[in-house]
Amino acid sequence: MPGKQTKQEAKKPSVHGEASSPSIKDSQFAKQAGADRVSLPRADVDTDELSRLYRQMQLIRRVEEECARAYAQGKIGGFLHLYIGQESVGVGSIAALRHDDYVVGTYRDHGIAMAKGMAAKQVMAELFGKATGCSQGLGGSMHLFDAKNGMLGGYGIVGGHIPLAVGCAFASKYRGDGRVTLCYFGEGSVTIGSFHEALSLAALWHLPIVFICENNEYAMGTPLARTLSVEDVSQKALAYGMQRDRFFARDVLEVKQRIGEAVERARTESEPTLVEVRTYRFRGHSMSDPGKYRTADEIEAQKKLDPLNRAREQLKLLGRTEEQLAKLDEEIEAEVQEAVKFAEESEEPGPEILEPTTYSGPFAR
């Protein structure tokens, strides 16, 4: 791509990822892994902001719990991949964005869609296959789209969306619109070619994108150790001369701050970053996965580290009363119930919708 031709050697290593040291931060990383004690967040924390992010996470979780219920009742079909356990990643990272920035994700997309501004009822109606859903009932759970909020979709082919996200960043640089693209994917996507081609080009062309690898330790039933020869995903950035970061997603404000640094780099320097965020999904890969590949003890241990509980405890430490939190829960509950009702009462799309949505202009036969 013509344009900025920064010399590699001119780049400063970032605070969190020195390009020269492959084993960077492993000791710090190991320490974080055990950091399950809730302590008061940094002094400059904005309680209202934490409360807002907590509310978003809690809303996503409650919406998805209702999705699981509706799925069991046969009201939702196909594949349903829940984000439960990973909410702090989507919510924290999108909190670092401007409204006109772009996000692109996988089939596990309810959380990022809602964090980017999609209403719960639009998600629910889509999953119910209704015409009032975000994609008019044509996409379903895996394919949530919301153009006006910069949600460029959930995609079903592992890794296939990563080059597409780079394309969005390319367009931003081309137009000089100052937007940043966040691209989400699991560690399972790191083994597929399009991941590497996308990173290679994003680095070569200095594009304003942040690659967020949500490393939840399992790609379907395959544990990390059998997916990657080097478990530190962030190291993949080294070969491309790309900045990197790596941390646990336990604290939603930390997610915001760390991703924020990468977003800032993208926006001001037009440089991409690969960020590995360690997280955990509490449910199966999808609703049909019995999850025999991990023990109940492992899941219980992870649930003790639930970022939602952490945020709630922090809010209490910061002075929010039980009453205030209960009121928040009530509001969320009302929103969830309204979403379900809306989805149930909405109309289904008819066949006349199929051709006009396939092509712009006349159908090409």
Ligand X SMILES: Cc1ncc(C[n+]2csc(CCOP(=O)(O)OP(=O)(O)O)c2C)c(N)n1
d(CA 250, CA 278): 9
Site string for other proteins, 143-162 (x = CB under 8 A): x-----------xxxxxx--
Q: Which secondary structure element, helix H or strand E, spans residue 264, and what is its range?
A: helix 252-269
Site string for ligand X, 284-303 (x = CB under 6 A): -x------------------
Q: Which of residues 32-71 bind other proteins (CB under 8 A)?
A: none
# of chain residues touching other proteins (CB under 8 A): 42
Residue 142 binding: pick among other proteins, ligand X, none (C-beta 5-8 Å cut-off by kind): other proteins
Per the CB < 8 A criterion, the answer to whether 239 and 24 are in contact is no
Torsions phi, psi for 243 (to 5 deg) = -70, 155
Site for other proteins contains 227 (CB under 8 A): yes
Torsions phi, psi for 106 (to 5 deg) = -95, -170
Out of 157, 204, 239, 301, name the contact with ligand X by CB under 6 A. Answer: 157
Q: Which of residues 19-78 bind ligand X (CB under 6 A)?
A: none
Out of 94, 142, 202, 233, name the contact with other proteins by CB under 8 A. Answer: 142
Residue nearest to ligand X (CB): 186
Tokens found for residue 85: 């356990």
d(CA 26, CA 48): 33
Q: Near ligand X by CB under 6 A, which window of 153-161, 258-266, 290-298, 338-346?
A: 153-161
Single-letter code of the amino acid located at 97 = L
Per the CB < 8 A criterion, the answer to whether 107 and 154 are in contact is yes
Say which DSSP state 350 is in: P
Out of 88, 216, 235, 302, name the contact with ligand X by CB under 6 A. Answer: 216
Site for other proteins contains 220 (CB under 8 A): yes
Radius of gyration over every alpha carbon of the chain, rounded to an integer in angstroms: 20
Closest to ligand X by CB, 122 vs 194, is: 194
Least Cα distance to 343 among 143, 142, 122 occurs for 122
Site string for other proteins, 337-356 (x = CB under 8 A): -----------xxxx-xxx-
Torsions phi, psi for 171 (to 5 deg) = -65, -40
Per the CB < 8 A criterion, the answer to whether 87 and 60 are in contact is yes
d(CA 15, CA 243): 10
Q: Which of residues 73-102 bind ligand X (CB under 6 A)?
A: none
Site for ligand X contains 108 (CB under 6 A): yes
Residue 354 binding: pick among ligand X, other proteins, none (C-beta 5-8 Å cut-off by kind): other proteins
Residue 108 binding: pick among other proteins, ligand X, none (C-beta 5-8 Å cut-off by kind): ligand X
Question: 54: Cβ–Cβ under 8 A, 6 or more apart, which residues?
Answer: 252, 308, 311, 312, 315, 328
Helix-helix angle 47-72:322-345, to 10 degrees: 40
Closest to other proteins by CB, 127 vs 340, is: 127
Site for other proteins contains 365 (CB under 8 A): yes
Among all chains, which residue has been given the structure tokens 């931060």?
25
Binding residues for other proteins, rule: CB under 8 A, are 77-79, 129-130, 135, 137-140, 142-143, 155-160, 188-189, 191-194, 219-222, 226-228, 293, 348-351, 353-355, 357-358, 365
Binding residues for ligand X, rule: CB under 6 A, are 106, 108, 156-158, 185-189, 216, 218-220, 285
